[in-house]
Structure 1
Amino acid sequence: MGRTNPFSTTYEEDTPDEVLVRDINNGSKASLNGLILRHQPFIYNIAWKMVNDPVQAEDLTQEALLKIITNLGSFHGQSSFRTWAYRIVRNHFLNDRVKPSNQFAASFEELGQLLDGSPDVSLTAEERAEKAEVIGEVRLQCLSGMLLCLTREQRLIYIIGDIFNADHHVGSEIMEISRDNYRKKLSRARKDLHNFMQHKCGLVDKSNPCRCHKKVTVALESGRVDAKNLLYNRKEFSTFKAALAPDADYLVDESEQLYTELHRQHSYQTTFEKKNFLELILESPQWRGRLHLD
């Protein structure tokens, strides 16, 4: 990925965030672009998992980054920059009231009923090999649907704490709650998610009847999955697991590792358009003057 996970205890960049902020406040456009490009992928991928829609995620990312940029003057080192910035992200994501457009179940009970009511169509070994990419799409779509069954706060804590593997100190600072409370909230989110998977998902318990490949035919016929326009299982996407720092501390116990590993296989977008929306905005004389950029 080329960037250090900001939720890791080992987070460190060649040019610290605080130095970039100082230079931005002195009028450096290059430092502002550097700060944006450093944090945009992380903010976007949190947003994508929060709303399960790439377009909505782009909007949330843009809005959160603009809030960070326009409030840089109020950052005086009272905390680390990552804590300060991701608190802004947290507030924006939790207060956003736009319902995820791709939410096909509002609760675990509803999702379970949907899976139970979806006919199984077995595939031959040859068909499974032929449709491997689509099977992967169904798996990732289902995992994303599970996240949307958590409350907003649970979802954000689980994404930061288990998928991004945030240290409890870092996670509690961003959420602005005690470490004990953070651990309790993360544990509850895990329990709700893992309990559903334990009773429904064939990936964690082979005695469960639900299998991704058996749902492919119905998903294609219903239009829920478009084989020509996959949203998650694209070759250009990475995974959260690949994006994590290699020396990250694994905070889940051994019995929960399988669940976490599955969710760390969520798609992670690493590349974005060369000229993103913020670069276009920063070319505007109005914004350049407002931010005192050189």
Structure 2
Amino acid sequence: MRTVNPFGQNNYSDQKDLELIHLAVNGNRNSLSKLIENHQQYIFNIALKMVNNIADAEDITQEILIKLVTNLSQYDSTKGRFRTWLYRITFNHFLNIKKQKYETLVTSFDVFFDYIRETPEIQLTQAEEKEMQQEIEESKVSCMAGMLMCLDREQRLIYIVGELFEIDHNLGSEIFNISPANFRKKLSRARNDLYQWMHNKCGLVNTNNPCRCPKKTKGFIANGWVNPEDLKWQSNYQKRIIDFSERNLEETLMTIDDIYAKLYKEHPFKISQKTENIVEKIINNNNLKNTFNLEE
């Protein structure tokens, strides 16, 4: 899996993708495969944060990768950078798909925190808390992922790529087709909306709030939001989002916004099980093989 963040400023090279594109459109199967692999897990992880459902995120990722491949021959490097082109397609897809399951259930912060408030609080013993660390962490990530769903789609997307994946503001403005100043303003508004509710309700940063992940874990399990036998977040990952960070803030220098962001960046960077097969499915599609005249 590629470890270079495509939204960063320092390590990503458009030139490497351009070389793969040149070879791919001339029939090189391995280059097309590599180009897809370079981006598929990032697209999947953004999709997962956008819709909060693994199966839906996998389907969305596949739809986007098919768009990438079928439109690749139309990409013109003289008109813009490849990642701008690719992620404009990707983000437009996120913004225009039909409402997903969790978007119909979590329609506002008020609705979401009513769900949390109505979940019974059950104090764990020290032994239980030690034994249930995975379930407690699953509860924390699930709750924070649910909070993201309270933002509208554009806010959610800008927060995910702007705060979690630290997109360069100039690249962000290109992809969203707005000015850098407007991109920063939208990101700031998304942060403020999310962090204000977290500050008032969540005990992860504001210790004056009564809500604590360990006390809610058994309730989340009873509600079916956490399945100890099939953990959605605490499985199928090798790294966390923060491992792709280009920023290296000292803990003592963190602002309150940095502290909230770090909580989200510590979430797992998931490896999609389904999309591991997408490359072969796409490349072996007869129509696409003919389009690219792919070598056997």
Q: Which TM-score band applies after superposition, normalised by the shorter structure?
A: over 0.9
Aligned to 2:19: 19
Instruction: Note the C-alpha offset of 1:293.
Output: 1.6
Aligned to 1:240: 241
Change (3 A) 1:102 1:266: farther
Aligned to 2:84: 83
Instruction: Note the C-alpha offset of 1:80.
Output: 1.1
Residues 1:222 and 2:189 aligned together: no
- Spell out the pairing of 1:1-294 with structure 2 (5 A cutoff): 2-13=2-13, 16-77=16-77, 78-101=79-102, 104-234=105-235, 236-245=237-246, 254-270=255-271, 272=273, 276-294=277-295
> Secondary structure of 1:221's match?
helix
- Unmatched tracts of structure 2, length 5 or more: none
Instruction: Note the C-alpha offset of 1:212.
Output: 0.4
- Unmatched tracts of structure 1, length 5 or more: none
CA contact (8 A) 2:26 2:292 kept: no
Amino acid at match of 2:186: K
In 2, the alpha carbon distance for the partners of 1:102 and 1:135 equals 24
Q: Deviations over 1:117-136 (max 9, x none)?
A: 22211112211111110000
Segment of structure 1 superposing worse, 144-153 or 73-82: 73-82
CA contact (8 A) 2:44 2:272 kept: no
* Percent of aligned pairs with the same amino acid: 39
In 1, the alpha carbon distance for the partners of 2:247 and 2:159 equals 20
> Secondary structure of 1:153's match?
helix
Structure having the larger proportion of residues in helix: 2
CA contact (8 A) 1:62 1:277 kept: yes
> Secondary structure of 2:33's match?
helix
Segment of structure 1 superposing worse, 209-218 or 110-119: 110-119
In 1, the alpha carbon distance for the partners of 2:211 and 2:104 equals 19
Equivalent residue pairs, number: 291
Instruction: Note the C-alpha offset of 1:270.
Output: 3.8
CA contact (8 A) 1:103 1:148 kept: no
> Secondary structure of 1:71's match?
helix
Q: Deviations over 1:136-156 (max 9, x none)?
A: 000000010011000000010
Instruction: State the superposition RMSD in angstroms.
Output: 2.1
Segment of structure 1 superposing worse, 221-230 or 202-211: 221-230
Change (3 A) 1:84 1:235: closer
Instruction: Note the C-alpha offset of 1:267.
Output: 2.0
CA contact (8 A) 1:103 1:145 kept: no
